Amino acid sequence: MSMDVTFLGTGAAYPSPTRGASAVVFRCEGECWLFDCGEGTQTQLMKSQLKAGRITKIFITHLHGDHFFGLPGLLCTISLQSGSVVTKQPIEIYGPVGLRDFIWRTMELSHTELVFPYVVHELVPTEDQCPTEVLKESSHVDKATESPPSPKEGQGRTILLDSEENSYLLVDDEQFVVKAFRLFHRIPSFGFSVVEKKRPGKLNAQKLKDLGVPPGPAYGKLKNGISVVLENGITISPQDVLKKPIVGRKICILGDCSGVVGDGGVKLCFEADLLIHEATLDDTQMDKAKEHGHSTPQMAATFAKMCQAKRLVLTHFSQRYKPVALAREGETDGIAELKKQAESVLDLQEVTLAEDFMVIGIPIKK
């Protein structure tokens, strides 16, 4: 089963000619999930090999403009491109409290009528995710659920923190479990963990032969976890002929932050196959980064090391850091320096610098 992530925007604060605003697409078997949707995301999608109409879920890390100002336009474009075709399954949107009201009011004021239904699920932050005075100023967003629903808006969930797990359960279907965890930023921010569920191991051809199981429908049943009864009356259970289950892959995407809140982040990101972490400024500007609720390569790498992540990808760079292809040799604020700073923490384990339209595949575990 193919799985990859595509970076549509890797810049901080605003889109520029060299870096788009924050947006990452997770793709598995043709289905696309979008993480953050900064201004210009729909244009970036058109320049990529991805199709906006394939997006079925959208996750917003926090309500700063460079992470969600592109959402209304994207929804409108998907609607226009859909023509008169009505999508049966709604697009599910996850994000902090206040997101539902933002989408509803944007659709209302622009007199937009989407041809597809959508559902907004809101995560309720805790008081320790941002400066106290900021949370008080934002307290009015709790009234968002009182807004009249759009004709196309389904009834979304209000998701509270599971204090025992220290996380938010967002999705639990046949293939994936998606959970959110708390981050500290200037406003409440979240990270997301996408975990592929274990898949049955391959059939052991030799055992099937030794047990006298005839090729055909019986193989399919055993592969799907169903016992079969042979003509001689002997029952063959799946565990008799299946190899060990294949462990699922794990991708973790963090929003803007200067650190995690509680231990939920470390637990959910432990041994992640791919950890995507912001690194807005280089290590020499760590005090400034923390003051604005952001991270540096050293901070990102320290978290990755704590989680024993297998691969760290840095993103959300200040627009001063040009992509490698455009960076001039010897520049003091060159992007290559951020890579060195992170790798020094990870004992020279290779770190990837995200660039717009970069695609990273996550191979199946053996």
> Has 66 been annotated as catalytic?
yes
Q: Which of 66, 101, 282, 283 is catalytic?
A: 66
* DSSP H or E run through 135: helix 132-137
d(CA 54, CA 22): 19
Residue 2's φ and ψ, nearest 5 degrees, are: -70, 145
> Which residues does 103 contact at the CB level (< 8 Å), separation at least 6?
71, 72, 75, 93, 118, 120, 150, 153
Angle at 130 between CA 139 and CA 162, to 5 degrees: 80
Tokens of 156: 């979304």
Could you tell me whether strands 168-172 and 158-159 are parallel, antiparallel, or unpaired per DSSP bridges?
Answer: unpaired
Under 8 Å between Cβ of 193 and 179: yes
Long-range residue pairs from 149-152, CB within 8 A, at least 24 positions apart, any chain: 149/104, 150/103, 150/104, 150/107, 150/108, 150/114, 151/113, 152/113, 152/114, 152/116, 152/117, 152/118
* Residues annotated as catalytic (active site), given as ranges: 66
